[in-house]
Chain A
């Protein structure tokens, strides 16, 4: 598993490095009705606003060619060394632009109660946040949140599925 992951990572990084395309700014839209982070303003398309306004579905691209998922072992809330390179790439990306906001989402596998799993997922999100912090990323540029067991990336009632759901994902707003 570890070997496969390293292989995938190296493929991804190589693919990223070979691209010379500059990422365009994606168009932004006001989500004032739906997004509690914005004021209840009216309707205009606004320019980039650091307060939570993003693209049509709120997601901006992260560092090119870099995985954005960190997986965890069962009952574990520490980041494994094999993800160090991924975190370093994200840390560089965030530090390169002071307006970037990283959203770190922690997840659990589907066993157990919803609310307790929100708390466990939060531990996984904060583990990644602390790791990024240790790499020099400012607290103000990150938010650690949890989805608990509500958004599995893979359905299934076996360890293969469970292992893919114990994760933290890094997205950008």
Chain B
């Protein structure tokens, strides 16, 4: 019979059910420069917005600013979706577009949110949307509005309705794996543990997370269903099991195993089973990422004497070196559009985020910080989230690929690290 003390320990160690919502501070935008091309858009407060638990126009403004691609202007007044905007006045204010709308609370407690987007330059209606949501989904509706504005005015899919995973460590040494909205809000704990958690990695289906947990006092890989909280062991072989990454079709997970000695790359069926060994070196091979088309694997190896990033065919084969500058290049991440690789490069004592144009091989350092880790691309390839240290504290940051616009999320007392940006949800329109 489990003793009470032990039961409490067990509950404390592993909390698989979704815990109560814990709000973290939103990513705060710190504009470190001005973006090259920013669309100036005016956002009106929604008619009926005061008194609503979430201020939709403010959430949309924060979303668009964080993307780095918009400059948000005030309209100076409330405008709802039935009014034709005074485009002359808005042109004078410098706006190319304006977002108007209204929100009303229905008798059953739901909210009726309506918006309209106007092209101020061509004096054209770009479209209207309405959302019928409970209070708990007001933020989601706001993010969907941001996605609509972003799509209409940039032509690209917005990432405002996506999610990020990350890990926090409290001052008492407690680790949590969080799943939050892309703006850092609505964080829910997927796992609480007295032992470290690292390397969360979203499956392409946006519903599962692989990660490494040390709860059994060695690193093992779990696959976790985010909605249900159910999880299963994927890799618990002799020695260390780490660095899970998913193939684009979601059927294969690459892992780093030391079961044969050292750290080598293996492929596992996503349902589990016997791993297939991919590399045969006497060096360290780790940190795999699949190319977006699934045909290649990028990984870190010190087979040449120092950790560098290599690329090999996903089915196995000879590896070609990709990074040539510096003697320490790790943590590759690939943009879904296939154009960019983000990675961490050490120079002296500084570990700095770099972005490489894959076609040309040109690289640039895009941060002012010196303790950058684990970059991850947003699914529209326009932003990178990474972990870093600022003023002695761990923080997550998002950055545009040119490094001009950055936003920062600080941990609420305690350290924050290991971010991974989730894919577009398949359910999204």
Contacts and interface: CB of A to CB of B under 8 A. Distances in A.
A114 B418 contact: yes
A87 interface: no
Given A30-B2, A122-B262, A115 B242 contact: yes
A33 interface: yes
Given A113-B344, A115-B243, A115-B331, A43 B1 contact: yes
A118 B262 contact: no
A150 B328 CA distance: 20
Nearest to B344: A113
A18 interface: no
Interface residues of B, number: 47
Contacts of B217: 58, 103, 105, 145, 171
Contact of A115 (B199, B214, B216): B199
Contacts of B349: 111
B1 A114 contact: no
B263 A122 contact: yes
Interface in B1-31: 1-3, 5-6, 9-10, 13-14
A112 interface: yes
A29 B2 contact: yes
B10 A112 contact: no
B392 to A, nearest CB: 9
A126 B344 CA distance: 27
B374 A114 contact: yes
A165 interface: no
A111 B258 CA distance: 22
Contact of B196 (A31, A122, A150): A150
Contacts of B300: 115-116
Given A122-B263, A146-B258, A103 B218 contact: yes
Interface string B232-267: 010010111011000000000000101001110000
Interface string A65-81: 00000000000000000
B10 A119 contact: no
Contacts of B240: 118, 122, 145-146
A120 interface: yes
Contact of B262 (A44, A123, A145, A171): A123
Interface string A42-84: 0111000000100010100000000000000000000000000
A44 B1 contact: yes
B391 to A, nearest CB: 14
A151 interface: yes
B184 interface: no
Contact of B286 (A105, A112, A119): A119
B261 A116 contact: no
Contact of A56 (B6, B196, B215, B373): B6
Interface string B196-229: 1011000000000000001111111000000000
A164 B136 CA distance: 48
Contact of A116 (B3, B6, B238, B307): B307
A134 interface: no
A144 B236 CA distance: 13
Contact of A113 (B9, B218, B261, B374): B374
Contacts of A52: 216
Nearest to B13: A34
B407 interface: no
A118 B219 contact: yes
Given A33-B10, A118-B242, A113 B263 contact: no
Contacts of B286: 115-116, 118-119
B216 A37 contact: yes
Interface string B323-335: 0000010110000
B346 interface: yes
A34 B10 contact: yes
